[in-house]
């Protein structure tokens, strides 16, 4: 067998052609992708987005997620001074108590730190000694704020009008209106995460709490934490449980419903073409309708709650599992079934000992994969139907001020999904590897 010149030319031409197509692909695919993204850039008006984006909101969101503010508020008509966390009623100090940077008395002296001192009183007067600038004084009353500034031009961080003055410094913020004088001081962290202000354990460090626990107050401490009205740990725990419950019921329910149906759809178990065809189209239909539509339809019948979410996952995944399971059944090895038949087994025994051991590892591993991904779906579905952690996080986002809670819930969801991921991986290894190496 000799290679002639024409053969070599042919091979060369072939190689050249191959290189050309490869080169074309190498440049064309990224070029198409970039062109498409350019189209998206204009179709979605990404350029205009920056003008619409609200920097102020982004700033609030981010600073609120890792810090909190204490409000010291005076009602200028009654003279009542309240100290509270984020201005919440359930985070308000009793009238005779205050944190150590607020000194109550006929005059309330508020130390904002860095030598910034705000004084309420006498009367409705408020003074703010700002280091490096001077002392600001206001006498809010019926005819306006009546502010007096240190001599010179007003700096940019003072926003003044006749009825409202807002001073923002690095130490905090003071707003004065005719009826209200309010001071904000910012702190790092999430306040009252463990205990609310009315709890005796509020403000204690870990060692003190531990020593109280050792002295037999563990139950009280737990109750104080568990019934925390600001962070609602009990409700959050329930919500997390509901989310897992939705994923668990939905996934395994779907598995239970889909398994018998998959037999009807598998070529080697279902002799009737019409049955097979109907089952497959039914699976396709259920999958195609999509979780969103199922959620809406089921929410109409069952109302909001975890059951609706579980059923929505169940229905959608029945389609997916039906498809996967019937494919697994079509791939089973005939030999074990014949072996079992040769020992005189009846139909039920043939399935039990010939088929089930072959498909169970596939089924379990698919079920566990879906359990993990459905935990995330349950959060999303919960946000629509109103159940579980999905509901809590949408509620927190809608208030537009509980960003520390949103952050907390995001952390919880991430941890939950990761935990389910590890659990499903561990179970998969245990159940499937254990099943294979066993006798």
Partner 1 sequence: MADTTARMGTDAVQADYMALTRRKRVYSVVLLAVFVALMAAGFRTADSRNAGGFWDGITHVFDFPAEVLGEAWANAARLPGHLVDHLPALVETLNIAAASTLIGTAFGTLLALLSTRGLARWPGLIPVFRRTMDVARAIPEIVIALVLIFVLGGGPVPAMIAIAIHTTGALGKLFSEVNENVSLKPVEGLQSVGATWAQKMYLGVIPQVGPNYVSYALLRLEINIRASAILGFVGAGGIGYDLRNAMSWGQGRYDQAAAIFILLFLTIVAVDQFSGYLRTQLTHGRQPREGARA
Query: Taking CB under 8 A as the criterion, which residues in 250-269 touch partner 1?
Result: 252-253
Check binding of 330 to partner 1 (CB under 8 A): no
Which one of residues 181, 379, 391, 402 is an interface residue with partner 1 (CB under 8 A)? 379
Report, in Å, the least distance between residue 406 CB and partner 1: 7
Closest CA to 362 of 328, 323, 326: 328
Choose one: 37-45, 164-172, 184-192, 324-332; the region binding partner 1 (CB under 8 A).
37-45
For partner 1, the closer of residues 163 and 349 by Cβ is 349
Report, in Å, the least distance between residue 294 CB and partner 1: 10
Choose one: 135-143, 152-160, 195-203, 284-292; the region binding partner 1 (CB under 8 A).
284-292
Check binding of 292 to partner 1 (CB under 8 A): yes
CA distances from 8 to 3, 13, 16, 348 (A): 7, 8, 12, 64
Check binding of 186 to partner 1 (CB under 8 A): no
Which one of residues 10, 15, 35, 40 is an interface residue with partner 1 (CB under 8 A)? 40
Residue 70 bridge partners (DSSP): 85, 185
Q: Is 116 helix (H, G, I), strand (E, B) or coil?
A: strand
Give first-to-last CA distance, the chain, whole Å: 57
Helix (H) or strand (E) holding 4: none
Residue 110 Rama label (left phi>0; alpha psi -120 to 50; beta) = beta
Query: Taking CB under 8 A as the criterion, which residues in 397-426 touch partner 1?
Result: 397, 400, 406, 409-410, 413-414, 417-418, 421
Check binding of 33 to partner 1 (CB under 8 A): yes
Check binding of 436 to partner 1 (CB under 8 A): no
Closest CA to 225 of 246, 252, 251, 204: 204
Query: Taking CB under 8 A as the criterion, which residues in 116-145 touch partner 1?
Result: none
| Separation of alpha carbons 41 and 253, rounded Å | 43
| Separation of alpha carbons 412 and 406, rounded Å | 10
- The residues, ordered by sequence, that sit 6+ positions from 377 with a Cβ below 8 Å of its Cβ are 247, 291, 313
Query: Taking CB under 8 A as the criterion, which residues in 190-219 touch partner 1?
Result: none
Residue 144 Rama label (left phi>0; alpha psi -120 to 50; beta) = left
For partner 1, the closer of residues 179 and 373 by Cβ is 373
Adjacency order of strands within the sheet including 67-75 = 81-85, 67-75, 180-188, 172-177, 164-168, 158-160
Which one of residues 246, 262, 266, 312 is an interface residue with partner 1 (CB under 8 A)? 246
Which one of residues 1, 3, 49, 274 is an interface residue with partner 1 (CB under 8 A)? 49
CB 92 within 8 A of CB 83: yes
| Separation of alpha carbons 390 and 412, rounded Å | 11
- Number of residues lying near partner 1 (CB under 8 A): 64
For partner 1, the closer of residues 245 and 337 by Cβ is 245
Which one of residues 103, 293, 356, 433 is an interface residue with partner 1 (CB under 8 A)? 293
Choose one: 13-21, 57-65, 127-135, 175-183; the region binding partner 1 (CB under 8 A).
57-65
Check binding of 274 to partner 1 (CB under 8 A): no
Report, in Å, the least distance between residue 436 CB and partner 1: 13
Check binding of 394 to partner 1 (CB under 8 A): yes
Report, in Å, the least distance between residue 69 CB and partner 1: 19
- The residues, ordered by sequence, that sit 6+ positions from 267 with a Cβ below 8 Å of its Cβ are 276, 330
Report, in Å, the least distance between residue 126 CB and partner 1: 33
Closest CA to 160 of 124, 136, 186: 136
Check binding of 439 to partner 1 (CB under 8 A): yes
Check binding of 301 to partner 1 (CB under 8 A): yes
Check binding of 286 to partner 1 (CB under 8 A): no
Check binding of 53 to partner 1 (CB under 8 A): yes
Q: Are strands 108-113 and 102-103 parallel, antiparallel or unpaired?
A: antiparallel
Q: Is 433 exposed, middle or buried (0-12, 13-18, 19+ CB in 10 A)?
A: exposed
Choose one: 164-172, 211-219, 292-300, 324-332; the region binding partner 1 (CB under 8 A).
292-300
Q: Is 378 helix (H, G, I), strand (E, B) or coil?
A: helix
Q: What is the DSSP string of 292-352?
A: HHHHHHHHHHH-SSHHHHHHHHHHHHHHHHHHHHHHHHHT--HHHHHHHHHTT--HHHIII
Which one of residues 197, 291, 329, 371 is an interface residue with partner 1 (CB under 8 A)? 291
Phi, psi for residue 114 in degrees, rounded to 5: 50, 40
Residue numbers at the binding site for partner 1 (CB under 8 A): 33, 36-37, 40, 43-46, 49, 52-54, 57-58, 61, 242, 245-246, 248-249, 252-253, 284, 287-293, 296-298, 300-308, 310, 376, 379-380, 383-384, 387, 390, 393-394, 397, 400, 406, 409-410, 413-414, 417-418, 421, 438-439
């Amino acid at each position: 067998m000799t290679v002639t010149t024409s053969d070599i030319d042919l091979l060369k031409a072939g190689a050249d052609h191959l290189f050309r197509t490869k080169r074309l692909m190498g440049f064309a695919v990224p070029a198409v992708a970039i062109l498409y993204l350019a189209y998206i850039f204009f179709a979605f008006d990404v350029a205009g987005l920056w003008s619409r984006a609200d920097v102020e909101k982004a700033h609030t969101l981010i600073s609120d997620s890792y810090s909190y503010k204490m409000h010291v508020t005076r009602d200028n008509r009654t003279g009542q001074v309240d100290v509270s966390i984020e201005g919440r009623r359930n985070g308000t100090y009793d009238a005779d108590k205050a944190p150590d940077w607020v000194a109550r008395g006929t005059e309330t002296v508020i130390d904002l730190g860095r030598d910034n001192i705000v004084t309420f009183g006498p009367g409705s007067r408020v003074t703010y000694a700002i280091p490096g600038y001077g002392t600001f004084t206001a006498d809010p009353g019926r005819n306006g704020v009546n502010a007096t500034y240190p001599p010179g031009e007003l700096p940019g961080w003072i926003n003044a009008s006749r009825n409202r003055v807002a001073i923002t410094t690095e130490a905090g913020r003071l707003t004065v209106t005719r009826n209200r004088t309010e001071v904000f001081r910012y702190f790092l962290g999430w306040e009252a995460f463990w205990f609310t202000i009315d709890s005796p354990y509020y403000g204690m460090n870990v060692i003190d709490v531990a020593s109280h626990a050792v002295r037999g107050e563990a139950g009280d401490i737990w109750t104080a934490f568990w019934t925390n009205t600001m962070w609602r740990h009990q409700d959050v725990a329930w919500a997390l449980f509901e989310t897992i419950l939705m994923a668990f019921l939905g996934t395994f329910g779907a598995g239970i419903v889909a398994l018998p149906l998959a037999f009807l759809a598998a070529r080697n178990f279902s002799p009737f073409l019409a049955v097979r065809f109907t089952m497959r189209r039914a699976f396709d239909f259920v999958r195609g309708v999509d979780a969103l539509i199922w959620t809406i339809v089921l929410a109409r019948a069952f109302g909001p709650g975890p059951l609706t979410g579980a059923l929505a996952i169940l229905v959608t995944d029945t389609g997916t599992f039906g498809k996967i399971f019937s494919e697994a059944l079509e791939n089973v090895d005939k030999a074990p079934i014949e072996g079992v038949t040769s020992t005189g087994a009846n139909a039920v025994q043939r399935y039990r000992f010939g088929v089930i051991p072959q498909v169970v590892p596939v089924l379990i591993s698919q079920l566990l994969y879906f359990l993990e991904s459905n935990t995330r779906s349950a959060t999303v579905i919960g946000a629509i139907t109103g159940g579980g952690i999905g509901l809590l996080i949408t509620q927190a986002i809608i208030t537009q001020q509980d960003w520390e809670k949103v952050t907390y819930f995001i952390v919880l969801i991430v941890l939950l999904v990761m935990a389910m991921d590890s659990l499903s991986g561990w179970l998969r290894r245990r159940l499937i590897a254990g099943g294979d190496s066993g006798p």
